[in-house]
Structure 1
Amino acid sequence: MNEEQIIKEIQNGNYSEFSQIVDLYKNKVFGMAYKFTNDYDEAQDLSQEVFLKIYKQIKNFRFESKLSTWIYRICMNTCIDWKRKKEKIKSINFSNMTSEENKDQQIEIKDESLLPEDKIVANEKSQEIHNLIYSLPDKYKTVITMYHFNEMSYEDIAEVLNVPQRTIETRLYRARRILKEKLSKTVVRGEPKWNAEK
């Protein structure tokens, strides 16, 4: 069955077919969640939350956009909501710190588990790239993840984010420039570890 047939089966009450939707999108959803959380367990929990929302809302899907666009929009909104909640908690926890202490405060979370997407963290180089992407502002992190890791077109990304395609092109250009500047400072034996040109 193609995606449309699977969705119609689910909408007709055959929810056992939902596992096919999970299989098709689990790695991409997890990849985006990991880019936002930088933590394996948090990304797993966030991915489950995304698919639970999809499960509950799929009966309302009207085929007015691609299924992938609809799923990525739910995923992105869930990730952004998660980050806002975490930042609010962090703000409360650090409210007694001075501004100088707060500026230097870092929370390091180590993940030694192998992730489903080998290309993200299969080796030290890709882990370093992930960390740099994680440090980007959300608007750049999102387009980099969608374009380079989820292999979405400018048009599809623009539809998910509800912004003009030209804005996506500009954000990608700026995101790559920031990454290239950061990566150019990381040198091994006199050579950059990774070239961000594409």
Structure 2
Amino acid sequence: MNLSERALARPHDPLVSLHFVPSKQALGKTDLDWACMARLAQGDKRALDELMSRWQRPVFGFLLRLVGNQEDALDLAQETFVRLYRARQTYRPSAPFSTYLFSIAANLARNFLRWKRRHKSYVCPGKEPNMGSSSVEEIIDETPSPREQLHHNEREKAIRDAVLALPPAMRVVLVLFEYEDLSYQQIAQILGMSTKGVECRLYRARHILKRKLRTFLEEKEGS
């Protein structure tokens, strides 16, 4: 069963309220997401496929960077869209759709990471994530030497391991800011906290990464 089939297999609500849905030509990209949710509330199953076509990859990438392997990230991405489908009747476009969707994904990831800490014997055979490029790499050195270029793969692994070693509360803020390119205000909305709290967590996360990655470089230089 694919992701949309899994979501649509959930029981339908007995009553569906009707909403006016403008044509696609009259809508921007953000409005299209809102319109899809309205169509989904009316029973148009194709709306879920449209939402997934736009958001499945970003949500999966976000979760992959948080949980550290593909199998868990895929399961959580699936559950994110299941939760989205189940919320089709109660969703109201009071905030950007991306904020709403990433809130679901972030909550699922945090719950999963808490569960994983309580079950330390849990091992998933998924592949290591590709964290991708970001300004996190600039913490190490803005002008890498030729020798550092030769160890590019090792440096990527060091960055990935350092991010995954962060406490979940710091990790999710860092990933949303560095990799998803969201503002402090957007992250605060997603996580239900103040922008000052976001700024503090991000500062602490970057400080930890800087220390760990500087240590990595010093070890490489000494080897």
TM-score for the superposition, normalised by structure 2: 0.68
1:185 paired to 2:215 = yes
Tell me the amino acid that sits aligned with residue 111 of structure 1. Answer: K
* Aligned match of 2:199: 169
Does structure 1 conserve the Cα–Cα contact (< 8 Å) formed by 2:69 and 2:124? no
- The structure whose Rg is larger is 2
| Counterpart-to-counterpart distance in 1, 2:116 and 2:180 | 25
Percent of aligned pairs with the same amino acid = 25
Counterpart among 117, 127, 147 of residue 111 in structure 1: 127
Contact map agreement 2:173 2:187 (CA 8 A) in 1: yes
Secondary structure of the 1:59 match is: coil
**Which segments of 5 or more consecutive residues in structure 1 lack a partner in the other structure?**
95-106, 192-198
User: How far apart are 1:119 and its partner, in Å?
Assistant: 4.1
User: 1:175 and 1:189 mapped to 2: Cα distance?
Assistant: 23
CA positional deviation for 1:24:
2.1
Residue 19 of structure 1: aligned partner: 49
Contact 2:72–2:126 (8 Å) recurs in 1: no
Give distance in 2, aligned partners of 1:68 and 1:19: 16
Structure 1 letter corresponding to 2:190: V
1:89-114 Cα offsets, whole Å, 9 max, x none, are 23xx59xxxxxxxxxxxx796726x7
Give per-residue Cα distances to partners, 1:117-171, cap 9 Å, x unaligned: 7548x95533331221110011110111101111111111011111111111111
2:38 maps to 8
Correspondence for 2:103: 73
Give the SS at the match of 1:63.
coil
Match of 1:34 in 2: 64
Matched AA of 1:24: R
**Distance of 1:162 and 1:108 partners within structure 2:** 30
User: How large is the RMSD of aligned CA atoms in angstroms?
Assistant: 2.7
TM-score (norm 1): 0.76
Q: CA–CA distance in 2 between the matches of 1:42 and 1:61?
A: 26
State the alpha-carbon separation in 2 of the partners of residues 24 and 128 from structure 1.
31
**1:125 corresponds to 2:155:** yes
Aligned length: 174
SS in 1 for 2:89: helix
